[in-house]
Every structure is written in C-alpha cells, then in structure tokens.
C-alpha cells in the first residue's frame, strides 16, 4: 500500500511521497518490531491502538519540519516595516479552534481529497472529534481506524491545549500579533516532547492485550520517570484530563488513581536474585528467564503457560536536568493452549456464552519488568494469563468476530484494512 493508486478521474496519487503516510506505515512496522503481540486480535482497543499510534507519530513528527509548520499556519510581515525580518501571525490563526481546523492536524490531505471526490479534506482530522465520555462504548466506534481516532484525539487535544497556553505566554506585537517563529518553535518543542512520551510509553505497557487506559498509565509513567515535577507546564495533568474527557479511564488496578502512574513493584523484598547474575540479567534472555522462573510465584506467573522472554533491552534516557535514567526493559509472554472447559481453571475466567467446552483456545498473558540501574525490579506491568475478566472479554470478542477457531494473520490485516478504508 506504499506506492500509489489511481483516482477515478485525474492523475495517480503518490502515497509514497506523502510524509503522513510514510510516517504512519513506518510506525506500524516499528511498533510491530517492538511489541509483536499488538497485531494479534484481542480487543477493540488493541486493534485500534496500532492505528492510533501510527497517526499520533505521523501528526507529531510533522512539527520537526518547522518551515512546513510556519507555512501551514500562514505568516504576515510586521506592518510598520517591510524590511523587517520578523514574521508575525495573527491571534485568530492560533486559537485552539483554528489550530484544530488547520491542515497541520489532518492526516493525508491529498489522499483524503482523492477518496472524497476532490473535496478539500484530510483523510482523518481526529482532533476535531469533540470530547465525549460515551463514545468508546458505542458499537459503531469499535472499528479499529475509527476507534483509534479517539486515542489520537485525546493526545492531540492535550497538545493543542498546552501549545495554546505556551503561545499565550508569549508577548504580542502591535495589533495583537505573535512572533511566528516563536510560535512554531514552541510547537516543535512540545511535539517532540509529546512524541517521545508517546513512544517511551511502550516500555511501560504490558506486551499482550493492551487497552487505552494501560497505555495512558504507561505514558504518564514514562514522563514521570524522567521529569518527576510536572508543575511547570502540567503536561501529565493536561493529558490525564484530556483522556478522561474522551472516556479513557485509568486502569482500576496497579496505578495511582490521582497521578495515573504505575505503582512500583511492592514485593521487591521477597524476590530472589541469588541464582541470577545481575549484569547478565540486563542483557541475556536466558539469564532473565532463570530469574523469572525462580520468582514466578511472587510475580504471579502461571505454571500452566509456556513462558518466553521476548526481549531484554537496555534503555538510557537523558532528563531535562542532565541526569541519566538507566533502566532495563524485559518483556515476557505466556502462552497456553486450553479447551473451553479449562477457562475457569487456567484463566480464572467464566467461559463466555457461545464458547463450547471442547473449543480450543489459545490464551496469552505477559508482562514487562523494568529493572533499575542496579538490576532490581522497579515495575512489573502485566496482564497475567490468569487474567479473569480480561481473558473472558478477549474470548468473547474473538468468538463474536469469528476468530476463535481460526488463526488470523495480523500482519496482512493492516494492509487489507487500509485498502478497505480507502475504497470506503
């Protein structure tokens, strides 16, 4: 889907030349490389997450092209001197409403125009979705691109709020105009910080059956680890409010209900490190597996699944105050093949209606263990195999989608989804 397509009348549309489309498609690929289970059918949220994440990266990365941003906003010269080099922009062009409507926050304008019969319209302009706490529950918002837009809107709404606040704090010239270059610079800075948060959030998300609320907690934790004090620009508070306004609530377990940050691992004292080598544990999957196995009961890992350590990655991040944050992100997945009759015994879940005791179910659990710079467990963020309601919901979803009895190929799913969407 990365090349071009023909419109009914008119020249071909070269999707391979669109910044938005390249960023979107590449994000799918990178995300899949980091968290391969997110393409598996699981829940409306997980399918939508891939789409939303790809759009968020595409939208925020445009801001690294500062000339493009300036051109998209529109500029005016200082009124009293033609020779002045200061570029200005009228207040009315940078109100939250004007920003939301601008071409800047739309995805794939040319493709949008082509599939909308030449009307000047982006393919998606999610930020224009007004906040609504009920939308996530509506059946029509289960489709993945549509549902993904709710996630995009939550982030971009927060982006516009913070950017606008920072623009307002700038001084104005005669006629209430702002210095365009400063406006763009603030936007670029903010987009870069927000994009980094959105990507780093993945380190603090469970590797299976992700939902929007867990992603939110991952996002807030990623930022908290690097910038403990949020009082200056209130990024986290604004993001939390924005997600809430779109009906995305924090996970009911595992995170602080005020700040939204994941709680640190509570039973750290009870873990056994004696058989594991600290240093090897931070880069060797076998060594990390040994640690998991020795501590499986405290970590809530079931004996019933096949456990795989998917990755052990070192992470080094530089905070705004020049302090390095060193962590190791270890990802494991548990897989169990069970019969419907074993749902209660293995998954701690009631067998959903429509699923027979003889149905074969492939169930997953998994977690991310974040080690601090000393190789000690700091966070354990998991959706365990014995997941109760989460597992029951997943089985019911697969059963309703007709996916319980067949293996879906997650990767080709995205290509066909994009094509279907374009054909409208």
Footprint of Zn ion (CB under 5 A): 51, 54
Residue 51 vs 225, nearer CB to Zn ion: 51
DSSP state of 350: P
CB of 266 to Zn ion, least distance (A): 38
CB of 377 to Zn ion, least distance (A): 35
Torsion of CA 262, 267, 272, 273, to 10 degrees: 40
CB of 51 to Zn ion, least distance (A): 5
Long-range contacts of 277-284 (CB under 8 A, 24+ apart): 278/374, 278/375, 279/375, 281/312, 281/328, 281/371, 281/375, 282/312, 282/314, 282/328, 282/371, 282/375, 283/312, 283/314, 283/328, 284/312
Residue 11 vs 33, nearer CB to Zn ion: 33
Strand arrangement, sheet containing 76-77: 76-77, 87-89, 178-179
Residue 51 vs 223, nearer CB to Zn ion: 51
210 Cβ neighbours under 8 A, 6+ residues apart: 35, 38, 42, 45, 46, 49, 383
CB of 124 to Zn ion, least distance (A): 10
**DSSP annotation string for 81-131:** -TT---EEE-GGGGSHHHHHHSGGG-B-HHHHHHHTTT-S--SB-GGGSPP
Residue 20 vs 51, nearer CB to Zn ion: 51
Instruction: Output the six-digit token pair for 90.
Output: 């009228």
d(CA 216, CA 218): 5
Residue 54 vs 184, nearer CB to Zn ion: 54
Residue 22 vs 237, nearer CB to Zn ion: 22
CB of 145 to Zn ion, least distance (A): 7
CB of 186 to Zn ion, least distance (A): 29
Residue 150 vs 382, nearer CB to Zn ion: 150
**CB-based burial of residue 169 (10 Å sphere; 0-12 exposed, 13-18 middle, 19+ buried)?**
exposed
CB of 243 to Zn ion, least distance (A): 21
């Amino acid at each position: 889907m990365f090349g071009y397509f023909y419109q009914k009348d008119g020249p071909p549309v070269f999707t391979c030349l669109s910044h938005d489309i390249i960023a979107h498609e590449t994000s799918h690929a990178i995300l899949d490389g980091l968290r391969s289970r997110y393409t598996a059918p699981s829940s409306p949220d997980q399918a939508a997450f891939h789409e939303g994440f790809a759009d968020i990266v595409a939208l925020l990365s445009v801001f690294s092209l500062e000339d493009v941003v300036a051109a998209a906003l529109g500029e005016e010269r200082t009124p009293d001197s033609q020779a002045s080099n200061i570029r200005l922009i009228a207040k009315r062009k940078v109100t939250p409403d004007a920003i939301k409507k601008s071409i800047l926050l739309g995805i794939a304008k040319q493709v949008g125009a082509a599939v909308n019969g030449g009307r000047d319209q982006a393919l998606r302009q999610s930020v224009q979705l007004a906040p609504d706490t009920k939308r996530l529950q509506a059946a029509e918002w289960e489709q993945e691109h549509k549902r993904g837009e709710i996630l995009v809107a939550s982030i971009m709404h927060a982006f516009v709020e913070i950017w606008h606040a920072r623009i307002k704090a700038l001084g104005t010239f005669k006629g209430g105009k702002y210095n365009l270059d400063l406006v763009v610079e603030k936007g670029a800075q903010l987009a870069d910080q927000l994009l980094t948060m959105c990507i780093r959030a993945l380190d603090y998300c469970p590797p299976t059956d992700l939902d929007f609320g867990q992603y939110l907690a991952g996002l807030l934790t990623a930022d908290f680890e690097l910038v403990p004090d949020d009082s200056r620009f209130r990024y986290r508070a604004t993001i939390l409010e924005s997600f809430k306004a779109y009906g995305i609530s924090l996970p009911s377990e595992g995170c602080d209900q005020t700040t939204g940050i994941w709680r640190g691992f509570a039973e750290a004292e009870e873990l056994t490190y004696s058989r594991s080598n600290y240093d090897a544990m931070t880069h060797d999957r076998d060594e990390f597996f040994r640690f998991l196995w020795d501590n499986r009961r405290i970590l809530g890992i079931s004996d019933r699944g096949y456990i795989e350590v998917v990755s052990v990655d070192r992470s080094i991040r530089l905070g705004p105050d020049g302090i390095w944050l060193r962590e190791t992100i270890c990802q494991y997945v548990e897989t169990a093949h069970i019969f419907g009759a074993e749902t209660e015994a293995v998954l701690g879940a009631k067998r959903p209606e429509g699923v027979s005791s003889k149905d074969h179910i492939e169930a997953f659990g998994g977690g991310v263990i974040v080690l601090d710079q000393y190789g000690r467990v700091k966070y354990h963020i998991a959706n365990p195999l014995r997941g109760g309601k989460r597992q029951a919901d997943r089985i019911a979803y697969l059963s309703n989608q007709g996916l319980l009895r067949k293996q879906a190929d997650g990767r080709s799913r995205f290509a066909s989804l994009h094509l279907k969407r374009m054909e409208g």
